[in-house]
Amino acid sequence: APARIAVTGLAVMGSNLARNLARHGYRVAVHNRSNARTKALVEEHGHEGDFVPAETLEELVASLQTPRQIIIMVKAGGPTDAVIDELVPLLEPGDMVIDGGNAHYADTRRREANLRDAGLHFVGAGISGGEEGALNGPSIMPGGSAESYRHLGPVLEDIAAKVDDVPCCVHVGPDGAGHFVKMVHNGIEYADMQLIAESYDLLRRVGGMTPTEIAEVFRGWNSGDLESYLVEITAEVLGHFDPETGVPLVDVIADEAEQKGTGRWTVQEALELGVPVTGIAEAVFARSLSGRAGQREAARDAFGATDVFASDRLAGGLVEDVRQALYASKVVAYAQGFDQMRAASAEYGWDLDLGAMATIWRGGCIIRARFLDRIREAYDKNPELASLLVDDYFRDAVKSAEAAWRRVVVGAVEAGVPAPGFVSALAYYDALRSERLPASLVQGLRDFFGAHTYRRTDREGSFHTLWSGDRSQVDA
Ligand code: NDP
């Protein structure tokens, strides 16, 4: 019998996805550039389901039922284009090519347009959850045509993570929408991790707590509003001791954070769209700063190693204050990420259902959290929500956290412990709800040096002041 679906690219992600499909009863054709991986997969896991190994792409294509569905799981970028170029001449109109790699959404838009011209469906599907998720149920964010989703949706929903029996997979929108949403997911993941790291740093350096004690705190937080995969694994990492030295592992891990680039993409795209994703940007820059070893050393030499300054701001109730600051800052980071998806949706005509994006992220992926149910409810109530922050539930949550949040920010500043995520989240909140912003002065300055004109609060039109003349106002 022909295979139902195919996977090409059998490194860790591809082989786990193929096994997930096979375990769900699909006959899966499998292929890899170097045949050794294909052989190894079938030898080690052939008993788990129905695999059809193929040595060449021709064989892979020939083994499939039509319309064909072929998932590409190779290194993102050039390798993905190489595989597509090799595959396309072998396919027939109506066939579907699914890219499950971490592609940039602009590449996905380009590939989708090219394949559409050839009568093929190209589906850029963001897949989150790492190797564990690929095997046991990832969060899947497929873009592409509605028609392709009619064929593919049932299979993808079958192998996706489930929360309350609801699959963490919906058709996101046309062309690059799926990979865009995956990108924002990763950006939010950066912000989430930065806020968690700042919480740890404050508890450790201001509160004088040990990693083991802080692990306990996170374990406790994981049974409340903050319940999430990242908070859960924070307790695991902080509670782990290095078997070699016997000290907490976190103390022997080099403090220079690396990045593969999806956080950077998120910020770059936010700059293009003009959406302030300050939480994600601070997180990306915090990683960059941590990696500048030479500058850090020079600064330590110049200023002396950092002491924590005394601050009585956080003397009482530090743990609870930090919990509230973490929660409120996290609401801001998600609000910004959802703003970015809404802006892209308008820009590219994707018609994204933001509540559904929260549903996809409830399970399988790295930012899975209880919190996402609240986000879905917020958008279910009002799909046109101006900001997640103004939804009744989040407004009340942020307002009740506000006093603690301010204490943490002031306390961190007084103590000299960097908390860029908390500080900028609070500044965003304060800016958003300000009656008047000093942007009026910025406009005045722009008009002074560049005749860039300004609008007035009391009447329509554009105006310019003759700054180097008699300073009268003229219509612009
Ligand atoms: P890698 O990104 O390490 O890629 C290795 C695979 O790509 C191998 O199958 C390799 O074939 C193939 N490959 C590389 N170059 C070419 C080429 N020019 N032509 C054909 N095949 C090529 O694998 P992963 O499994 O880690 O990831 C796969 C995709 O999934 C990537 O896009 C990744 O970003 C994404 N992803 C990864 C996650 C993770 O947690 N690792 C999570 C979510 C997405 P060969 O064996 O012949 O070298």
Per-residue pLDDT of 45-56, as tens digits, reads 999 999 999 999
For position 79, what pLDDT does the model report?
98
Band of pLDDT at residue 468, cut at 50, 70 and 90? very high
The confidence band for 124, taking pLDDT boundaries of 50, 70 and 90, is very high
Q: Could you tell me the CA-to-CA distances from 452 to 283, 304, 319, 445, 464 in Å, in that order?
A: 33, 45, 49, 9, 8
Atom number of ligand 1 nearest to Cα 260 = 34
Confidence of residue 315 (pLDDT cuts 50, 70, 90): confident
Is residue 132 scored above 90 in pLDDT?
Answer: yes
Residue nearest ligand 1's atom 41 by CA = 130
Kindly name the residue from 86, 92, 112, 182 that is annotated as catalytic: 182
> Who contacts 109 (Cβ-Cβ below 8 Å, separation ≥6)?
175, 176, 348
Instruction: Tell whether the model's pLDDT for residue 196 goes beyond 80.
Output: yes
Rounded CA-CA distance 228/163 in Å is 13
Active site residue 236: no
Tokens 């795209």, located at residue: 269
* Nearest CA, atom 2, ligand 1: 75
Q: What are phi and psi of 10, to 5 degrees?
A: -115, 40
pLDDT score of 314: 80
Active site residue 182: yes
User: Using only C-alpha atoms, what is the Rg of the chain?
Assistant: 25
Cβ atoms of residues 173 and 350 within 8 Å? yes
Task: Phi first, then psi: give them for residue 3, nearest 5 degrees.
Answer: -75, 150
Q: State pTM to two decimals.
A: 0.96
Regarding the beta carbon of 9 and ligand 1, being less than 6 Å apart is answered yes
Q: Sorting pLDDT into bands at 50, 70 and 90, what band is 313?
A: confident
Cα of 12 vs centre of ligand 1, distance in Å, is 8
pLDDT of residue 86: 97
Ligand 1 centroid from CA 30, angstroms: 14
Report d(CA 331, CA 220) in Å as an integer.
20
pLDDT, tens digit, 9 for 90 and up, residues 210-244: 999 999 999 999 999 999 999 999 999 999 999 99
Cβ–ligand 1 contact at 335 (below 6 Å): no
Q: How far apart are CA 87 and CA 188, in angstroms?
A: 34
Residue 139 forms beta bridges with which residues? 128
pLDDT of 98:
98
**SS3 string of the chain?**
CCECEEEECCCHHHHHHHHHHHHCCCCEEEECCCHHHHHHHHHHHHHHCCEEECCCHHHHHHCECCCCEEEECCCCCHHHHHHHHHHHHHCCCCCEEEECCCCCHHHHHHHHHHHHHCCCEEEEEEEECHHHHHHHCCEEEECCCHHHHHHHHHHHHHHCCEECCEECECCCCCCCHHHHHHHHHHHHHHHHHHHHHHHHHHHHHCCCCCHHHHHHHHHHHCCCCCCEHHHHHHHHHHCCECCCCCCEHHHCCCCCCCCCCHHHHHHHHHHHHCCCCHHHHHHHHHHHHHCCHHHHHHHHHHHCCCCCCCCCCCCCCHHHHHHHHHHHHHHHHHHHHHHHHHHHHHHHCCCCCHHHHHHHCCCCCCCCECHHHHHHHHHHHCCCCCCHHHCHHHHHHHHHHHHHHHHHHHHHHHHCCCCHHHHHHHHHHHHHCCCCCCHHHHHHHHHHHHCCCECCCCCCCCEEECCCCCCCEEEC
Res 180: pLDDT:
98
Q: What is the model's pLDDT at position 141? A: 98
25 vs 8: CA distance, rounded Å: 18
Query: Which pLDDT tens digit goes with each residue over 171-189?
Result: 999 999 999 999 999 999 9
Distance CA 367, CA 162 (A): 15
At 379, the pLDDT band (50, 70, 90 cuts) reads: very high
Peptide bond into 67 cis (omega under 30): yes
At 305, is the pLDDT very low, low, confident or very high (cuts 50, 70, 90)? Answer: confident
Measured in Å, residue 126 CA sits from the centre of ligand 1 at 14
For the question of an ipTM over 0.85, the answer is yes
Tell me how far CA of residue 276 lies from CA of 12, 120, 339, 405, in angstroms. Answer: 35, 37, 9, 20
pLDDT at 310 over 90: no
Best residue among 17, 75, 265 to mutate for probing ligand 1, ranked by most atoms within 8 Å of CB: 75
CA of 345 to the centre of ligand 1 (A): 29
Give how far the C-alpha of residue 207 lies from the chain's centroid of Cα atoms, to the nearest Å: 30
Q: 180: which 2 tokens?
A: 């865009």
CA distance 408 to 34: 54
pLDDT at 306 over 80: no
- Ligand 1 centroid – CA 7 distance (Å): 12
Among protein residues, the one with the nearest Cα to ligand 1's atom 6 is 74
Cβ–ligand 1 distance for 40 under 6 Å, the answer no
Tell me what the pLDDT averaged over the chain comes to: 97
Which of 3, 166, 24, 170 is CA-nearest to residue 71? 3
Q: Give pLDDT, residue 316.
A: 81
- pLDDT tens per residue, range 73-103: 999 999 999 999 999 999 999 999 999 999 9
